[in-house]
Chains A and B, each alone.
Chain A
Amino acid sequence: MMRLPWFDYRAPRSVAEAAKILAGEGPEAMLIAGGTDLLPNMKRRHQTPKVLVSLRGIEDLKKFSNGSGMALGSGLTLSEVLKIDKIPTALRQAAAQVATVHLRNMGTLGGNLCLDTRCTYYNQNYEWRKAIDFCLKKEGDICWVATASKRCVAVSSTDTAPAMIALNANIRLVGSSGEREIPVETLYNNDGIEYLFRKPDEVLTEIRIPHAGYKSTYWKLRRRGAFDFPVLGVAVALRFSSGNFIDEARIALGAAASRPFLVEKASEFLKGKKLTDEVIAEVSAMVASRAKPLDNTDMDLYWRKEVADDFAGYALRELRGDDMRETRLRIARHLV
């Protein structure tokens, strides 16, 4: 049986206490919320923190409010997020497609946003990694995906982050010396190792989604109807003005680099346009040009590159009002 390494367990009652423990213990300490990402990694000895600082007992992280915008506590499980009334469609569709029912009952929204980057050379047992003499992300010197690469190209595999980016959400980070609120997309760094701009003592406490009048959607590409991480995620949020002209557009990609990111060019291009077939084709191509898949996830990389524009097209057509249910059913295996 795969077992966790030894660790010391702390259960702070407040965010401030958690931040204090993190500041005191330094890099030997790690936060744990739902545990669905960290514990498998610990069992495979990717991370062997001396101290686990559990966020489970902090009630503040489970709050939800809906006023001038939605404020979601980072400790809400993905299943709890799905039960929230009027949750934006892209977030609902993203959350509903994370892993499996059981893992959504355990994993938290904050945890999914902070998900470790993934790579088929990295997400392996210690013994397997030893057999390739390890890799750049952990204990090794070479990135086996791109041997000339100086940086780790592990893939950002969070579903909720592209949705949050499209929805123009902010996150709140609380550290031992203060707190800050930043746009979701600025949390991420395009580096498979240092993939978060989170300070070691900071706790992601809250996600704020503005009421921006968006229509939004999320399309996830993966092999099976459950379990699998995305090999491509396309999130789109559009605000229409009268006459179906686009007022504001935000398109974000997931699983296409070491970070989820906003495709700014496509967003700019859509402003003031109507979603004609031609416009959709042009924007889809723009989006697809930004997807740079590598051979470190499931499914053929050339194929993933080739279908990126189809996926962007599905998202845009759905927001135009086309009936995409059959397509979604074929790809997602269930309607979300």
Chain B
Amino acid sequence: MSAIPERVHLKVRVNGEESPVSFAPYKTLLEVLREDLNLTGTKHGCELGECGACAVLVDGVPQLSCLVLGVECGGRHIETVEGLANGSELHPLQAAFADLGAAQCGYCTPGILMTAKALLERDPNPSRETVKEAISGNLCRCTGYQQIFEAIEEAAVRMKSKRRIEIK
């Protein structure tokens, strides 16, 4: 067996930017993001796939960064909460979450925002049941979820009217 390398060197594409990064090979995407790319917006609550706090988008799909091997991220597009806003303009989901009380302590928020982003891209007009199902892998201890459901629905409405304006 060959010796295990102390570090691996990769190019990862995070929030549309490709950057070289070097890290210990045992690290998951969560650790690479937080510790080697200093993107601490992605949170962690268990590191075992049991809470959803570390959810990010991998090639557009919500995944748990705590269970994605860093070495498998080369060439894949990672999206985190840091990339959600357009410059200083909040993503409609971010704005709705802030306005409607969907973020209390804010710790589960990045994971839910990314999960909801994928939902609204797939289904711009989700029913309450669809919203509930989509974020059922993200535990929140503060809100009781109702204001989160409402914020996602509100964001969907705002995104639709924004699209209408853009078409006009």
A residues whose Cβ falls under 8 Å from a Cβ of B: 1-9, 11, 25, 28, 32, 35-36, 39-40, 43-44, 50-52, 54, 56, 79, 99-103, 105-106, 225-227, 334
Contacts and interface: CB of A to CB of B under 8 A. Distances in A.
26 contacts: A1-B30, A1-B31, A1-B47, A3-B26, A3-B47, A4-B26, A7-B25, A8-B1, A9-B71, A25-B1, A28-B1, A35-B68, A36-B49, A39-B67, A40-B48, A43-B47, A54-B72, A100-B52, A101-B133, A101-B136, A103-B64, A103-B67, A105-B63, A227-B50, A227-B136, A334-B136
Contacts of A226: 136-137
A25 B52 CA distance: 34
Interface of B: 1-2, 4, 25-28, 30-31, 44, 46-50, 52, 55, 61-64, 66-69, 71-72, 115, 129, 132-137
B26 A7 contact: yes
A203 to B, nearest CB: 18
B148 to A, nearest CB: 15
A21 to B, nearest CB: 11
A52 B46 CA distance: 23
A43 B132 CA distance: 30
A5 B26 contact: yes
Contacts of B134: 101
B64 A102 contact: yes
Nearest to B55: A102
A227 B135 CA distance: 11
A106 B26 contact: no
* Closest CB pairs A-B (n = 9): A100-B137, A226-B136, A2-B47, A40-B48, A4-B26, A102-B137, A101-B137, A39-B67, A102-B64
B61 A105 contact: yes
A9 B1 CA distance: 11
A106 B64 contact: yes
A50 B72 contact: no
B137 A2 contact: no
Contacts of A56: 72
